Every structure is written in C-alpha cells, then in structure tokens.
Amino acid sequence: MRTLLLVHRCLDKAWDSLYFYSSTFYSLFEVTLNGILCRELAQESEGTIKYVVDAPDRGRKRCEQRPYGVATLLCYLELHLPLWLEMFNPVYSLCTVRCYGGPAQLQAIAKKCPPVAVAIARQKLEGKSFCKSSELEFKVVDVCDSMGWDSRLVKRELRALQWTSGPDGFSKSGVLVEFSDLSFHFRSRGDLTSDQMDDVLDFLNLRARRQEQTELAQLDMLSQALVRVSHKNYWMCCDEADRARSNTLKRDLEAFFDREHTGGENIREQQVIMAEPDTGALSQLHFDIRQFISLYGQDHILTGRSIARVFHGIGSPNFPAETWGRVRRFWRAHLHVAFPVIIREATKIVVAMR
C-alpha cells in the first residue's frame, strides 16, 4: 500500500513537471530560431540565411527549463520538417588564456596563433586595449564560425600553447588555457516569418502534449497494475509470498514494456479532471499572486507557469529551491490547488497587471 500511495502521489504531481506552457516555447524560439544568439554564417542561393548557434547557460534561464528540458525541446525542434535546426554535440564555448609572462607573452602568442590573434582583433574593435593585459577571454565557437575553422582543431591548437618543445622534450610554456561554459551547439535558420513561427510553435506544443499523454498514461498503467495485485493490509502477505499475484504483476510489466509507445498515439487520451478550489482558496490564491508580482515582478520575468512552480515548490533556473525555499510566504504555499489552475489564474493576473 505504501508503494501505491507513492504512485498516486506521482500521478497527482505529474502535471507539475510535465505541464508545458507556450511562453516557454516562445522563449526557446527567441534563443534559437529568431537570431538573438545567432550570427550569420552564409546565405544560400534562394535567400535563406543559415546560422551557427551557440546557446550558453543564459538560454536555459530565459526558457525557465533545466538543461535536460532545453535539450528535449531542441530535439523536438530537430524533428520538425522542414528542418529548421540541426543539433551538434555540446561544446565548451568560452576560452580563457592566461600568460604568466605578462602582456609581452600574450602578444607573442597572438603572432603565432591565428585564433588568439582573431580574438584580440575582434575585442580591439569593441574598444578593449591589451597593452597591459596578460589575459584573454573569448567565445571560441564564435571565432571558429567567423573564420570557417573546425572548433576541434582550434581547441587542440589552443591547448598546445601550454607546452613548448626543445632538445630535452616538452616543457611548460607559462601559458594556461582553460575551457568553460558548457553550451548547446546547433545550426539554426533565422529570420523566420510569423506564419513559420506559428507553425513551429503549434508543432512543438502538440509534440509536448503528446509526451504528457504518454507519461501520464504510463503512470496510470503502473498504478492500475499495482492495485490489481495489492492486499488491503500488510499482514495479509507478510508471512509468505503470494506467487500468483507476483506472476500476474510480472506479466503486466512484460506486457507494458512489449507495448509500442509512439508519442501517445496508441495510448488513450487522459481525461484529467481538475478540482476547482473553493471561493476562499481562490481569493487567497489571487491575493498571493498579486503580492508575488508586486514584490518580484521588477526583478524577474514572471509567467503563470513560473509563479505556479514557486507555489508548488518546484525549483527552476530563475527560482532555485535552495534560495526560494526560504521564502515561506510563497514557497509551497498552494499545494492544495491544482497546478494547471494556478497557471491559469496567474496568467490572467500577470496579463492584467502589465
């Protein structure tokens, strides 16, 4: 029965983690398909611009998703036809070069290492001076894309700066090269029309809903299988194992994994009935939402979904549990209200208070 209780709690909380929201998708489009973090690479004959994109951690915060959530959404976009996005392996996009020999050593490196020279030249155009600087920090992927270089070979060349060869072999050169900022790396088309953006948004929204249906149905199937083989009290099965029920559960599990799941197409649609809160609970919810927006609306980009996550105690990149868990006034303050209901009501108030 304890296992059944945990499964039922999972069913109750499933919407909290599976519920997607259109603003999340639109933020993802701004980062990937609309050229905010994009840079023009080439122009094809028919006039369509291709981009090489490097989406660092700030992209995750804009989308209000954890890294695996953003990666999942990007994979969904990659499946869309026509192909608007092509994924590559994640890369460390930020390179830091420190020269313990001072500014003169950095200038000497720039003369023999083209990537360092390009990075310095780009930053000089922005007004930065390297006369007294012995450290250089730049986006290695941006430099590679602008020059048409292979980033793997460039990184190998940069790492080689840490060593010098001589008659006695290799020795340290006094240069430290570090790579950081693990980022999503993909090629994307920019400057999409409004109709194309709407088409991609509809596709992604439908794909996410189908995934919700699949995962909710899987939890429901597991719950039903455990209910069929459960006992009313623990003492009814504590003396000896019930082989018949154990075999029944094994067959159910084997049938579950043998069944083909195609994104929710072969699984019955879930009819989720949301319990509406009473008048008092709804009034308190509206009051807390307005207070939350008044206190934190200036410092954060708030959506109905982000507010609902706080009220249900679900951490996110912009509202980490380690920090916001101490805000007892709002954190997990409305667990008794269904997650989609909070999103619905919070969205209305956010729009009204803009």
Domain ranges of the chain: 1-19+208-271, 20-89+189-207, 91-182, 279-352
Half-sphere exposure of 64 (CA within 13 A, CB side): 24
Rg over alpha carbons for the chain, rounded to the nearest Å, is 27
Q: What pLDDT was estimated at residue 68?
A: 73
Res 175: pLDDT: 94
Spatial separation of the C-alpha atoms in residues 98 and 90, rounded to whole Å:
24
**φ, ψ for residue 73, nearest 5 deg:** -65, -35
- What was the pLDDT predicted at 268? 45
Can you name the residues that pair with 42 across neighbouring β-strands?
A: 50
Nearest-angstrom CA–CA distance, 156 and 178: 12
Prior bond to 103 cis, omega within 30? no
Nearest of 304, 349, 329, 312 to residue 20 by alpha carbon: 304
In eight-state DSSP terms, residue 174 is: S
Name the residue type at position 146: S
Name residues of the chain where pLDDT drops below 50.
1-8, 10, 12-21, 35-56, 262-271
Nearest CA among 284, 280, 324 for reference residue 306 = 324
* DSSP labels, 24-70: HHHHHHHHHTSSSSEEEEEE-TTS-EEEEEEE-HHHHHHHT--HHHH
Length of the chain measured in residues: 354
Residue 105: φ, ψ to 5°: -70, -40
- Terminal C-alpha separation, the chain: 48
Distances (CA, A) of 194 to 73, 86, 191, 202: 20, 21, 9, 12
